[in-house]
Amino acid sequence: MAESHPPLRSYGRLKTRAIKPRQAALMETLLPSLRPPAEPFDPRALTPAGAEAWLEIGFGGGEHMAAQAARRPDVLILGAEPFQNGVASALRHIDEAGLANVRVHDGDARDLMARLPDACLARIFVLFPDPWPKTRHNKRRIVQAETVAEFARLLKPGGALRFASDWADYVDWSLLRLTADPAFRWTAERADDWRTPPADHITTRYEEKRLGDCAPVFLDFVRT
Q: % helix / strand / coil in the chain, to the nearest 5?
A: 35, 20, 45
Instruction: Report whether 89 contacts 18 (CB < 8 A).
Output: no
Active-site position among 42, 95, 111, 130: 130
SS3 144: coil
SS3 54: strand
Assess whether 130 carries a catalytic annotation: yes
Residue among 175, 25, 203, 6 nearest 107 (CA): 6
Residues linked to residue 80 through DSSP beta bridges, in sequence order: 57, 105
By residue count, the chain amounts to: 224
The answer to whether the Cα torsion of 173, 174, 175, 179 is positive or negative is positive
SS3 53: strand
Beta-carbon count within 10 A of 154 CB = 21
- Within the chain, where are the H helices? 21-29, 31-34, 63-71, 84-97, 109-113, 145-154, 168-179, 192-195, 205-208
Residues annotated catalytic, as ranges: 130
